[in-house]
Amino acid sequence: MSSAPQPQGLFAAISPEEAVRRVTLAHNAIVGEVQKVVVGHEDLIEFVLIAMLPRNIASWPVCPARRDP
């Protein structure tokens, strides 16, 4: 019986709580840096981050760009 190779390094399995913690830290760091240049537009920064990060936003259940048949 063979088992699938386990992810290692950056792709190692982590708990959902740890994943949320890491994403939160990264989000805060990115927003902090962008706010040094783009002052007073917090909503715009959030929209840009949301647009940049997902690979397939059209697959989200609620997406303004999505057109259901």
Domain limits, the chain: 15-53
The tens digit of pLDDT for each residue in 41-54 reads 888 888 888 887 76
Mean pLDDT, the chain, integer:
74
Residue 19 near residue 26, CB atoms below 8 Å = no
pTM beyond 0.75, yes or no: no
Which two structure tokens, joined as six digits, stand for 51? 């647009």
Spatial distance between the Cα atoms of 35 and 45, rounded to a whole number of angstroms:
8
Which two structure tokens, joined as six digits, stand for 12? 């190692």
The predicted structure's pLDDT at residue 54: 67
Is pLDDT larger for residue 31 or for residue 3? 31
pLDDT at 68 > cutoff 80:
no
Which two structure tokens, joined as six digits, stand for 1? 């019986």
